[in-house]
């Protein structure tokens, strides 16, 4: 493979604000993709229309792929070309969030403790929360904006959900979903204290 090809690719990423000095991360990305999806070289070759030997050489770092080859591989892997070629330090693929005192959004000294972990993240704006009760009690939620939906997963205990004229008692290991644009209430009143997570999606945001 000529040096001009690599130069052309590097110039392309410099223009887009992403300097790329080598292709080691592309080799690793493709191989990890295949292993994670239990896909053979032959299978990926057939789907991408890139030769089996070329893919093997890319994975082993022995070949410098052209933009055309990278585009075919990205399409076969159902990802954007940018996701394949962007250096891993710029991708931030995995982010870790955990409950702490700084993300508590519930009232102080209240039996219902709620942590707001992410704020309207993702392609569909979504808020993600974790919660637990420190004692029996209840909490009220006002109406969210129209088009919002709440998904609640109960990890442990049991929880009574009041929604308009309905109410249900949710047991551990089950999920409930409902229109969050209607005021509702959670109550932990018997058995083990409730603990779980819920998220709110905003379809019209």
Q: Is the residue at 13 inside a domain?
A: yes
Q: Which residue has the higher pLDDT, 14 or 161?
A: 161
| Rounded distance between C-alpha atoms, residue 67 and residue 72, angstroms | 9
Phi, then psi, of 192 in degrees rounded to 5: -70, 150
Residue 174 structural domain = 112-202
Instruction: Tell me whether residue 58 is exposed, middle or buried, using C-beta atoms within 10 angstroms of its C-beta: 0 to 12, 13 to 18, 19 or more.
Output: buried
130 occurs within a structural domain: yes
Which of 93, 125, 154 lies at the terminal end of a domain, its last residue? 93
Q: What is the pTM of this model?
A: 0.57
What count of other Cβ atoms lies within 10 Å of the Cβ of residue 170? 19
The answer to whether position 86 is within a domain reads: yes
Task: Output the pLDDT for position 190.
Answer: 93
Taking only the tens place, the pLDDT of each residue in 169-183 is 999 999 999 999 999
Phi-psi label, residue 165: left if phi above 0, alpha if psi -120 to 50, beta otherwise? alpha
The string of pLDDT tens digits covering residues 64-123 is: 888 899 999 999 988 888 878 776 655 556 778 899 999 999 999 999 999 999 887 666
CA distances from 55 to 58, 62, 94 (A): 5, 10, 26
Report if residue 71 sits inside a domain: yes
Same domain, 50 and 137: no
Indicate whether 119 and 182 sit together in one domain.
yes
């Amino acid at each position: 493979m000529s040096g001009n090809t690599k130069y052309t690719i590097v110039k392309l990423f410099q223009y887009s604000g992403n300097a790329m000095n080598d292709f080691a991360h592309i080799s690793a990305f493709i191989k990890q993709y295949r292993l994670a999806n239990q896909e053979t070289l032959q299978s990926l070759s057939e789907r991408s229309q890139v030769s089996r030997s070329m893919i093997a050489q890319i994975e082993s770092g022995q070949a410098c792929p052209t933009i055309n080859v990278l585009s075919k591989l990205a399409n076969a892997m159902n990802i954007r070309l940018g996701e394949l070629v962007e250096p891993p330090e710029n991708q931030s693929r995995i982010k870790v969030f955990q409950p702490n005192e700084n993300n508590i959004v519930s009232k102080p000294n209240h039996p219902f403790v709620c942590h707001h972990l992410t704020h309207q993240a993702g392609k569909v704006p979504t808020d993600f929360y974790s919660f637990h009760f420190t004692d029996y009690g209840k909490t009220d939620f006002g109406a969210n904006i129209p088009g919002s939906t709440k998904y609640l997963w109960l990890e442990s205990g049991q929880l009574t959900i009041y929604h308009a004229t309905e109410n249900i008692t949710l047991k551990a290991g089950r999920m409930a979903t409902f229109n969050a644009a209607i005021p509702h209430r959670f109550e932990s009143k018997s058995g083990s204290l409730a603990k779980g997570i819920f998220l709110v999606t905003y379809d019209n945001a």
